[in-house]
Structure 1
């Protein structure tokens, strides 16, 4: 399932160009020194991936709480169903969430901090910009978060989100160097393929939770058995 995060990030990065591309375009990179520019872009990506890792860690812990109660397989099925349902929900539903009270205030602070970072040209600018960029609302990140929850493990959840972030690196790097190099028509066609892939991933999570006895894909037992050994003295 970890491979799905990498593929998801790669396919979803075409959508990222439209959503986060403007941020990449505005990065105050050194246009004259190619080596320094590469370092600055790398710091930006490290910041993004680090924020995704934190998100994955937190949601992996949430998933682990279900696993401790022996509900990991049920959780996997539930996450798969949610991923499929979200695809058919109107995008306005996410806008309502993004615009709700406390969440809106947090997002506003993130955007404000991001704006301030883009005005500077110090080395930490790019790391900070990437870090804050990772916390901006994004439907694709929400989908990846479902995968982190289904992992039911803090480290695996973090790794899942890191691989998702790595998958977005090639296209986001190209956006910095080449600008808006992909036509709107091509982006639109690729974006239409992303929901199909999400549905496939959702189905895989459902199959995984069903315990069909398929090695790696759908193991019968997803949680290790704990045997209590009592000894008398």
Structure 2
């Protein structure tokens, strides 16, 4: 699943260039000092991945709460089904039931803070912009969050989200250096592969949750292990 996290981020970065590209283009990087510019871009990506890792950590803990009740296999199946439904249900119908509206004020504050940071050039500016960027609403991030929940482990959820973020680095970095270098038609064609890849990941989660006894792919159902040691003298 770790490889799928990176590939998901890599394919999803074509969407990221369209959504978060304007932020990347506006980064107040040093145009004359190449080394300084590289370090500034590194801090921006480090900030994004840090926020993704924190999100993965929190939702991994949420998933762990389900596993404590012996529902890890069912959770994996549920997450897989939700990922597939999110891809096949038309967005205009799905948007009627999204829970993002109460978050509009919070998102507005995040954007306002980013706007202030974009006017600065201090050492912490680029990390802060990246960190805030990671908390902006994004459908692809939501899909990665589903996977973090299914991991049912805080560290694994954090690692999954971090690898997802790492997958977006190559294209986002190229966009910062070269600007909007990919044509709209090419981006459109690649974006069409993203839903198919998400559906494949969803099927893998369903397969994993079925516990068919296939090593790594669909391991047998595991019950929480409780061990205790007794000593008699």
Matched, 1:192 2:192: yes
| Unpaired runs of at least 5, structure 1 | none
Q: What pairs up with 1:38-187 in 2 under 5 angstroms?
A: 38-92=38-92, 93-94=94-95, 97=98, 100-101=101-102, 103-187=103-187
- Cα distance in 2, alignment partners of residues 65 and 184 from structure 1: 43
- Cα distance in 1, alignment partners of residues 99 and 126 from structure 2: 25
- Cα distance in 2, alignment partners of residues 176 and 223 from structure 1: 48
Paired residue secondary structure (1:212): coil
Assess if the C-alpha contact under 8 Å between 2:68 and 2:224 holds in 1: no
Paired residue secondary structure (2:124): helix
Assess if the C-alpha contact under 8 Å between 2:70 and 2:224 holds in 1: no
Q: TM-score, normalised by structure 1?
A: 0.95
Measured after TM superposition, the shift of residue 61 of structure 1 is 0.3
Measured after TM superposition, the shift of residue 3 of structure 1 is 1.4
**Residues 121 and 8 (structure 1), Cα distance of their counterparts in 2 relative to 1, 3 Å cut:** same
Measured after TM superposition, the shift of residue 124 of structure 1 is 0.9
User: Alpha-carbon deviations, 1:113-144, whole Å to 9, x = none?
Assistant: 11111111111110000000000000000000
Paired residue secondary structure (1:41): helix
Measured after TM superposition, the shift of residue 230 of structure 1 is 5.6
Assess if the C-alpha contact under 8 Å between 1:72 and 1:223 holds in 2: no
- Provide the aligned length of Structure 1 versus Structure 2: 232
- Cα distance in 2, alignment partners of residues 158 and 134 from structure 1: 13
**Residues 162 and 94 (structure 1), Cα distance of their counterparts in 2 relative to 1, 3 Å cut:** farther
- Cα distance in 2, alignment partners of residues 184 and 223 from structure 1: 49
- Cα distance in 2, alignment partners of residues 91 and 122 from structure 1: 40
Measured after TM superposition, the shift of residue 225 of structure 1 is 2.5
Assess if the C-alpha contact under 8 Å between 1:98 and 1:137 holds in 2: no
| Unpaired runs of at least 5, structure 2 | none
User: Alpha-carbon deviations, 1:208-230, whole Å to 9, x = none?
Assistant: 01011111111103454324556
- Cα distance in 2, alignment partners of residues 79 and 113 from structure 1: 33
Q: TM-score, normalised by structure 2?
A: 0.95
Comparing 191-200 and 117-126, the one that deviates more: 117-126
Paired residue secondary structure (1:123): coil
